[in-house]
Amino acid sequence: MAFLVAGTLRVASQMADTWESLGRKGKYSMQGPRVALLLSSPEVSASTVTVLEGVFRTLGFDSCQRREASVQGFQWELVRFREQLDAHGGPVGCAFVALVAPSQQLRQPQQLVQELSRCGALYGCPKVFLLLSSSPGAASKPRAFLTSLGELCGHCPHWSLLQLLTEVFCRTAEESSGAASCLVLRSSLRGALCLGDVEPWGPEPEPSPSAQYDLSGAQAALLLAVIQGRPGAQHDVEALRGLCQALGFETTLKMDPLAQAFQEEMAKFREQLDARRVPVSCALVALMAHGGPQGQLLGADGQEVQPEVLVQELSRCGALVGRPKIFLLQACRGGHRDAGMGPTALPWFWRWLRAPPATPSQADVIQIYADVQGSFPRGPIPGSSDQADILMVYAAAEGCVAYRDEKGSDFIQTLVEVLRADPRRDLLELMTEVNRQVCELEVLGPDCDERRKACLEIRSSLRRRLCLHS
């Protein structure tokens, strides 16, 4: 009994410290051991595995397991890994899982991500997934990515993982012999994740001017909002339009567009940008509407439009080649209402320990795709030119409800507040802070009296830091 109580108190202590650090500094405290798992299919070359193991050591992951299995066996290996962590008897600071397989075989990695998210030892802790293609034609790019990541972690230990990845994305693109190249990350982190073996509250690095997008040219925004049948949506429109104007965006607003009008307005927006005589530095598109069961947007006529089609339309804009394109999507992506995850114990016990509230079940995960095809269902292929320099922020995780009331949505209202407070910070870092605040909120679902949680999803192929206000 004494051992059980001691273990429970340790978990509660780590939870409280993590919660305090995220609230106080917006950074993960990283207390507890760092564990890594390398899953590779038999076709993977030994040199790729060697480079990857070196990256793990550089990042401070002393405990690294390597297992070889078919792609179909990855799920079982992750089950074993999760059970091993839960049986450890103590909290884990961070988990890093690398999945290496031939191109096009890792098409649906979300089941693997969800498996590790069920790990009790990793509750509230960051989980990093690295998905690498081992196809012969793409072998050099993952190795270049890994080498750059290892070097930067050694030279810039105070940098957050998002800062490191942005720099790595830039370097990898520059080393691709002029070919359009991009790597993609998918994040629900709630704070800065510093993997360097340093004290986490060190000074922030000063980025060089060349590491940032040049926003000296014109900036344009397109807001497409369905207000009809969406109480509170008008407040989101007003708040977002005011923010865009404060940041210097030339803003176009279209209310209650039909499904066909979504596509027409996006095409018109692209044509106007291409027709401009002055350079365009950045484009922002906000899509606000009801969502379908598979993540579709619903126009004012109730008809569906795929958001990926709108993204591809703007990606064809010649004036925006190499320029950042921001998409904000305030819409449901399914009908699941997340009750969140919390410690498995009696509620009064955790209240007595003053444990933090439940965390959204999809939070604290970052996935990094290096030349892995099919990682974005129904969307552009990572590695292709039309996927580069894009930041997409969803108000809800895949399959989940996006919440809104008569005052507006949690996502848009929090985003406007955070960006107005500190517009000079890197936009990826600001979006992570928005996610932290949204994850702390609790809402009452219309279907019951139980509290529900929400979590953003951030997808980025940005290759430089993006600061909207110089």
Is residue 435 within 8 A of residue 356, CB to CB? The reply is no
Catalytic pick among 244, 282, 290, 317? 290
Task: Region of 273 please: left (phi>0), alpha (psi -120 to 50) or beta.
Answer: alpha
Please confirm, yes or no, whether 290 is among the known catalytic residues.
Answer: yes
Phi, psi of 48 (to 5 degrees): -65, -40
Neighbour tally for 22: CB within 10 Å: 23
Report the run of H or E that residue 97 belongs to, with start and end: strand 94-101
Tell me how far CA of residue 49 lies from CA of 138, 139, 195, in angstroms.
15, 12, 20
Helix axes of 46-58 and 140-155: crossing angle, nearest 10 degrees: 20
For tokens 């005052």, the residue is 407
Report the run of H or E that residue 282 belongs to, with start and end: strand 280-288
In the structure encoding, which two tokens stand for residue 33, read together?
């051991």
Please confirm, yes or no, whether 158 is among the known catalytic residues.
Answer: no
Neighbour tally for 191: CB within 10 Å: 23
In the structure encoding, which two tokens stand for residue 303, read together?
């008809």
What is the rounded CA–CA span in Å between residue 195 and residue 94?
Answer: 9
In the structure encoding, which two tokens stand for residue 358, read together?
């439940």
Report how many helices (DSSP H) and strands (DSSP E) the chain contains, helices first: 12, 19
**Side-chain-side CA neighbours of residue 400 (13 Å):** 23
Catalytic pick among 125, 182, 194, 332? 332
Known catalytic residues? 290, 332
